[in-house]
């Protein structure tokens, strides 16, 4: 109740200017429609009321009811409201952009299968867990390339990921900064926010990556390390994650890592977008019923008065 009172306002407050205008018009109209207006200047009110036949009080009631109807209509047009309109995208999942490293370092067996093949398997598991929730894929090495924008057909993402390797990448290297910039551009077009998952064995030139990330909208980021924690390259993933405010998960033999990634991605939905909006529910239509009842009641009174006068 307190929130409703504090949130109460009018969507179109300018229409409230009709209220003083309505009262003014009603007052002049009432004066002009008074059949006794000429006599009122010549006879004192008490004597005039005693001389008049019929029931002027009822006529006055009808006139007052007409004013009430006009005032309610003005308030309804102004659009009273106290409840925000639910966001139509509230139930949508936030997209997850997967940045898959495809440099030659990912071809190393540690042991078999290779790192890139382990990444493919994890992507397949992730696609299964996120079935029906948007997921996109960017492959990067010395350059960054969009494989698929966010799509709810996660099986296609997993299938396309199996084709990603160092063989098809035109430039060798580790330009995660370029991939982050491209992922930011895609997620910025989404109405539901999103997050980033980097699948890699290491991060080269961490300061450059940090600079690129800070120049973007800084969507939440996670790292899936497809390398052993004892490996010195794992430290670069930890360093990048700490500086970017992200998290690092090590690839596991079960789905524990994939489930953790999915839960974290779900929590990254932008609350302002997924919950309420700056649109408010129109409540003026609630006044339609009392307006209709008052109008109908006025008609019934008019009919009764006419029958009384005819008698």
Q: Does residue 113 share a domain with residue 45?
A: no
In this prediction, residue 32 has a pLDDT band, given cuts at 50, 70 and 90, of low
- Which residue is associated with the tokens 């005039």? 48
Residue 105 DSSP code: G
Q: Does residue 219 share a domain with residue 117?
A: yes
Closest CA to 185 of 141, 146, 134: 146
Is residue 32, in this structure, part of any structural domain at all? yes
Range of the domain at 46: 2-83+283-310
Q: What percent of the chain has pLDDT over 70?
A: 77
Q: Does residue 123 share a domain with residue 9?
A: no
Q: Which residues partner with 276 through β-bridges? A: 86
Higher pLDDT, 309 or 246: 246
Is residue 91, in this structure, part of any structural domain at all? no
User: Which residues have C-beta within 8 Å of that of residue 133, sequence separation ≥ 6?
Assistant: 93, 95, 96, 152, 154
Q: Does residue 161 share a domain with residue 33?
A: no
pLDDT of the residue at 53: 55
Is residue 89, in this structure, part of any structural domain at all? no
pLDDT of the residue at 25: 85
Q: Does residue 173 share a domain with residue 209?
A: yes
In this prediction, residue 142 has a pLDDT band, given cuts at 50, 70 and 90, of very high
At 139, phi and psi to the nearest 5?
-100, 140
pLDDT, mean of residues 188-208: 89
Could you list the beta-strand ranges (E) of the chain: 9-10, 80-81, 84-86, 96-101, 135-140, 144-151, 195-200, 221-225, 247-250, 276-280
Q: Which residues partner with 195 through β-bridges? A: 96
pLDDT, mean of residues 3-20: 82
Q: Does residue 119 share a domain with residue 265?
A: yes
Closest CA to 136 of 99, 81, 167, 85: 99
Q: Does residue 136 share a domain with residue 60?
A: no
- Domains in the chain, number: 2
In this prediction, residue 211 has a pLDDT band, given cuts at 50, 70 and 90, of very high
CA atoms within 13 A on the CB side of 305: 16
Q: Does residue 297 share a domain with residue 168?
A: no
Q: Does residue 219 share a domain with residue 109?
A: yes
Is residue 248, in this structure, part of any structural domain at all? yes
Is residue 59, in this structure, part of any structural domain at all? yes
pLDDT, mean of residues 21-44: 70
Give the separation between CA 171 and CA 290, rounded to whole angstroms.
Answer: 73
pLDDT of the residue at 259: 92
- Reply yes or no on whether the pLDDT at 251 is more than 60: yes
What is the domain-level CATH number for residue 123? 3.40.50.410
Using a cut of 0.75, tell me whether the model's pTM lies above it: no
pLDDT, mean of residues 116-128: 93
DSSP string, 146-179: EEEEEES-HHHHHHHHTT-STTT-SS-S--HHHH
- Reply yes or no on whether the pLDDT at 177 is more than 50: yes
pLDDT of the residue at 284: 87
Is residue 23, in this structure, part of any structural domain at all? yes
pLDDT of the residue at 302: 46
- Reply yes or no on whether the pLDDT at 93 is more than 50: yes
Give the separation between CA 34 and CA 57, rounded to whole angstroms.
Answer: 12
pLDDT, mean of residues 64-68: 83
pLDDT of the residue at 49: 62
Is residue 305, in this structure, part of any structural domain at all? yes
Q: Which residues partner with 199 through β-bridges? A: 100, 224
pLDDT tens digits along 34-55: 655 556 656 666 666 665 655 5
Q: Does residue 287 share a domain with residue 267?
A: no
Q: Does residue 254 share a domain with residue 183?
A: yes
Q: Does residue 196 share a domain with residue 133?
A: yes
pLDDT, mean of residues 151-168: 93
User: Which residues have C-beta within 8 Å of that of residue 193, sequence separation ≥ 6?
Assistant: 94, 187, 219, 268, 269, 270, 273, 274
- Reply yes or no on whether the pLDDT at 190 is more than 80: no
């Amino acid at each position: 109740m307190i929130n409703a009172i504090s949130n109460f306002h009018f969507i179109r407050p300018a229409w409230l200017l009709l209220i003083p205008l309505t009262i003014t018009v009603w007052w002049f109209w009432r004066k002009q429609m008074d059949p006794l207006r000429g006599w009122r200047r010549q006879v004192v009110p008490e004597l005039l009321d005693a001389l008049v036949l019929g029931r002027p009080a009822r006529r006055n009631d009808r006139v007052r009811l007409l004013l009430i109807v006009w005032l309610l209509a003005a308030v309804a047009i102004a659009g009273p409201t106290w409840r925000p309109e639910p966001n139509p995208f509230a139930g949508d999942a936030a997209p997850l952009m997967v940045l898959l490293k495809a440099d030659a370092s990912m071809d190393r067996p540690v042991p078999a299968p290779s790192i890139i093949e382990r990444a493919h398997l994890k992507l397949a598991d992730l696609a299964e867990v996120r079935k029906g929730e948007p997921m996109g894929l960017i492959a990067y090495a010395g350059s960054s390339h969009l494989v698929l924008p966010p799509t709810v057909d996660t099986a296609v993402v997993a299938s396309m990921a199996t084709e990603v390797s160092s063989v098809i990448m035109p430039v060798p290297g580790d330009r995660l900064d370029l991939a982050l910039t491209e992922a930011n551009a895609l997620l910025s077009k989404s109405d539901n926010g999103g997050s980033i998952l980097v699948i890699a064995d290491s991060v080269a030139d961490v300061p450059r990556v940090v600079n690129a990330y800070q120049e973007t909208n800084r969507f939440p980021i996670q790292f899936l390390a497809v390398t052993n924690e004892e490996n010195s390259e794992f430290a670069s993933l930890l360093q990048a994650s700490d500086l970017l405010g992200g998290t690092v998960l090590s690839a596991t033999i079960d789905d524990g890592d994939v489930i953790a990634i999915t839960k974290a991605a779900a929590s990254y939905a932008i609350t302002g977008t997924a919950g309420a909006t700056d649109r408010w529910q129109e409540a003026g239509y609630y006044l339609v019923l009392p307006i209709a009842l008052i109008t109908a009641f006025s008609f019934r009174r008019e009919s009764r008065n006419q029958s009384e006068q005819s008698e």
